[in-house]
């Protein structure tokens, strides 16, 4: 085989340059995983997606990097300068992926430490579960609103948190609100890990539809979530659930609606035609939610308000209806009577920046009589629990214990009421006192 003056064959040259090209590409993905950006309109969508996939699939990416490196080495890439440069970059990528994996495992370790003193209260073995799909709960705006119900697949009143043989009034309910930027999203594809966890613990989980923009205008989305809660309570006997204990959760836009649902219980303006229905919840668990439509921290991607929220979701500018934009901002709805919250957010979130979560938690803690727990995940991106990763599984288990703790306080409290002291004592007994506090906010 002919060799160049430098002693390289044509195949080795091609392998070297190919190795360098692949290594540069992979290094950029790794760098983006550590420093995702939302400051450039044309790039932040790519930056989020690439960062999200790279972080949550880091173990697989590391394995691919090792295999690719071995493949190129076998083909003589290291005999060329480009190939050696590619190897340096590949080693850097492997170090970055290893650090990302370590962060995921550290999250699990930190949560385990927080839960180290947990004693399960009458926790049975995980129950089998079954789906009831596309159950209509309302009609609004000319469309049918449906929910998917995941429940324990056991005889009524047997096992888990809602064992009616123990004298409890029925199983606790978890309402799951999907995300998708208020314009898309599928209940069938979101919240699955948490719903399966809670159903196996004895809960009845309802993944609900709501009208979507641009056809829907705020507060239509919120109204529909409240319709679902009202329907669940109205049909509690048929569902075998306790109408007095409803919790709500959701991610992204669903996290936004989760927070608003919890903070605007029984407000008639959000309950047209069902003003007398009870739409309160006992606990709220928003994942990577949006808490401030007005962007008072100045951390959103450029033109989010003018090019998306105003024309698509709100149908007005902030200057035209500041009251409506405040109504859509959970941070402006905090009050002393808020239910127990567990707010979960990743510190690398570029779609819903973590600064807003910190500000919201601080504001809610200032006024709420109920506990407000905040779990900030180091190295986590938006939608981090979509994959059953190490981090996601650890967080889902922690949320399960949190919700069980609140439910335990509810059923052991006086008159089936979740009193603040009872909730705090039960949750802190089960979670410890090491859930992270909000980090300092720049300029505050």
Tell me which residues are annotated as active site: 252, 349, 382
288: left (phi over 0), alpha (psi -120 to 50) or beta: left
d(CA 306, CA 379): 30
Largest CA distance in the chain: 89
In the structure encoding, which two tokens stand for residue 295, read together?
């962007």
- Choose among 153, 149, 152, 154: nearest CA to 131: 149
In the structure encoding, which two tokens stand for residue 198, read together?
């809670």
In the structure encoding, which two tokens stand for residue 413, read together?
């409290």
Q: What is the phi/psi pair of residue 65, to 5°?
A: -60, -45
Give the strand order in the sheet containing 241-251.
129-140, 143-152, 204-208, 171-177, 241-251, 283-287, 340-346, 372-377
d(CA 426, CA 444): 33
Beta-bridged to residue 343, according to DSSP, are 374
In the structure encoding, which two tokens stand for residue 242, read together?
């306790």
Residues shown for the chain: 444
- Choose among 396, 347, 342, 390: nearest CA to 370: 342
At which residue do the structure tokens 């009034």 appear? 169
């Amino acid at each position: 085989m002919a060799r160049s003056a430098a002693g390289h064959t044509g195949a080795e040259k091609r392998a070297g340059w190919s190795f360098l090209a692949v290594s540069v590409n992979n290094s950029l993905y790794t760098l983006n995983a550590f420093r995702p950006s939302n400051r450039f309109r044309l790039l932040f969508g790519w930056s989020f997606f690439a960062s999200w996939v790279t972080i949550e699939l880091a173990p697989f990416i590391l394995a691919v990097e090792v295999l690719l490196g071995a493949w190129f080495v076998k083909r003589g890439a290291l005999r060329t300068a480009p190939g050696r440069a590619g190897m340096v970059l590949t080693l850097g990528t492997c170090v970055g992926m290893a650090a990302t994996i370590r962060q995921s495992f550290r999250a699990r370790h930190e949560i385990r430490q927080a839960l180290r003193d947990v004693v399960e209260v009458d926790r049975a073995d995980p129950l089998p579960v079954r789906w009831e799909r596309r159950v209509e709960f309302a009609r609004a705006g000319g469309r049918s609103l449906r929910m998917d119900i995941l429940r324990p697949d056991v005889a009524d009143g047997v096992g888990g948190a809602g064992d009616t043989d123990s004298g409890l009034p029925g199983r606790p309910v978890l309402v799951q609100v999907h995300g998708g930027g208020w314009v898309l999203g599928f209940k069938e594809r979101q919240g699955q890990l948490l719903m399966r966890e809670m159903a196996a613990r004895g809960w009845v989980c309802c993944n609900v539809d709501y009208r979507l923009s641009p056809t829907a205008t705020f507060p239509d989305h919120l109204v529909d979530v409240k319709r679902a809660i009202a329907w669940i309570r109205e049909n509690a006997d048929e569902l075998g659930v306790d109408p007095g204990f409803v919790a709500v959760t959701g991610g992204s836009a669903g996290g936004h609606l989760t927070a608003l649902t919890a903070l605007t219980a029984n407000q008639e303006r959000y309950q047209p035609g069902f003003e007398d229905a009870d739409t309160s919840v006992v606990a709220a668990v928003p994942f990577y939610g949006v808490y401030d439509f007005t962007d008072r921290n100045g951390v959103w991607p450029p033109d989010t308000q003018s090019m998306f929220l105003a024309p698509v979701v709100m149908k007005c500018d902030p200057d035209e209806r500041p009251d409506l934009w405040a109504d859509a901002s959970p941070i402006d709805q905090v009050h002393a009577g808020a239910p127990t919250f567990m707010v979960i957010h990743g510190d690398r979130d570029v779609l819903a920046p973590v600064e807003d979560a910190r500000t919201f938690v601080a504001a809610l803690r200032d006024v709420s009589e109920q506990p407000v727990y905040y779990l900030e995940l180091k190295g986590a991106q938006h939608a981090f629990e979509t994959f059953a990763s190490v981090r996601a599984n650890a967080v889902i288990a922690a949320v399960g214990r949190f919700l069980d703790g609140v439910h335990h306080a509810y059923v052991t409290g006086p008159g089936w009421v979740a009193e603040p002291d009872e909730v705090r004592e039960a949750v802190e007994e089960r979670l410890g006192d090491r859930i992270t506090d909000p980090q300092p906010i720049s300029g505050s």
